Copies of this chain bind each other. A is one copy, B any other.
Amino acid sequence: LTHPFDIATTLTARSEGRFAGETSPAYWNFAGPFGGIAAALLLRAVLDDPRRQGTPVALTTNYCGAIKSGAFEIELTPERTGRTIQHWSLRLVQGDTVTTTGSVVTALRSESFAHQVAAMPTLPPHADVARAKTPSNLPWLSAYDFRFLQGPAFTPPPAGTLGPSRTLLYMSDVPSRPLDYASLAALGDAFILRLLQMRGRMAPMSTVTLTTYFHATEAELAAQGTAPLVGVADASRIAANFHDQQMQLFGSGGGLLASGIQTVWYAE
């Protein structure tokens, strides 16, 4: 496994319910790994646990504090295992410090009544949209290929105005990598924070909690392979130091592979 994403999310089993890992510079943000890596690490721990039953349905990641460069451990507990649904609780710790908590739902899924409500927006071909230039000071931004159709990031709006809250873009791993649940979890957090995009300038802000639902089956992930995803993100309300942010990730065929929401803290 030589892809930077695999290196950044590799865990070593220590004992039942305990994995060890090491931070990786490839997905570094301001002060710690970009939040999508923490989410992927929690999911990876569940996926690697021999007690796990089924595939991911839901993941909530709570960002309690920055993960410092170096070693960490993930403790996980299967809270309840039913006939088809399993509930997990997780903590990522560095020594006595809890940096991240979370919960995961996995399930044995089968063919069933199916209906998709959310329609994928119409876009020009991927090759016709230029890859965005991203600031080089944040390594994680270079780990993705972003192609913006709406809501261009890294472009300040005219002074005194707000840029759009909605973003529509193509997203993919750099270098390309076949999609799996862990990378889908990370991609779900790879949207620029709405307030940063709308104001076009950095100010203290960070994701506080992130919930991602996995709609894709393993067959759909395999069919997607390394093809770019179509992402949509928006906010609903920004007030009193917090704003929410919704996201949808569609596959090439228009199937909704994942959706979710997050809460972002901002300073002023």
Which A residues are closer than 8 A to B by beta carbons?
57-58, 60, 62, 64-65, 79-80, 82, 84-85, 87, 89, 91, 98, 101-103, 105, 107, 109-118, 162, 165, 195, 198, 208-209, 211, 213, 215, 217, 234-242, 244, 246, 248, 255-256, 259-261, 263, 265-268
The answer on a CB contact under 8 Å between B107 and A80 is no
The answer on a CB contact under 8 Å between B60 and A79 is no
Q: Which residues of B contact A113 (CB under 8 A)?
A: 195, 238, 266, 268
22 A–B contacts from the bound complex (CB under 8 Å):
A58-B208, A58-B209, A64-B79, A79-B91, A79-B101, A89-B89, A89-B101, A102-B103, A105-B263, A107-B242, A109-B241, A110-B240, A110-B241, A112-B267, A113-B195, A115-B198, A116-B236, A209-B211, A213-B244, A215-B242, A236-B248, A236-B259
Which one of B87, B109, B265 contacts A101 once the chains associate, using CB atoms below 8 Å? B87
- Report Cα–Cα, A92/B82, bound state, in Å: 17
The answer on a CB contact under 8 Å between A114 and B263 is no
- Report Cα–Cα, A218/B62, bound state, in Å: 23
- Report Cα–Cα, A214/B261, bound state, in Å: 13
Q: Which residues of B contact A112 (CB under 8 A)?
A: 239-241, 266-268
Q: How far is the CB of A174 from chain B (nearest CB, A)?
A: 27
Q: How far is the CB of A147 from chain B (nearest CB, A)?
A: 23
The answer on a CB contact under 8 Å between B114 and A239 is yes
- Report Cα–Cα, A114/B267, bound state, in Å: 12
Which one of B103, B234, B268 contacts A103 once the chains associate, using CB atoms below 8 Å? B103
Which one of B84, B115, B237 contacts A118 once the chains associate, using CB atoms below 8 Å? B237
- Report Cα–Cα, A213/B241, bound state, in Å: 13
Q: Which residues of B contact A111 (CB under 8 A)?
A: 240
Q: Which residues of B contact A260 (CB under 8 A)?
A: 261
Q: How far is the CB of A150 from chain B (nearest CB, A)?
A: 14
With A107-B241, A112-B267, A117-B237 already in contact, 4 other A-B pairs whose C-beta atoms are closer than 8 Å: A103-B209, A105-B209, A110-B241, A112-B241
A103 with B101, Cβ < 8 A, contacts A244-B259, A256-B236, A263-B57 known: yes
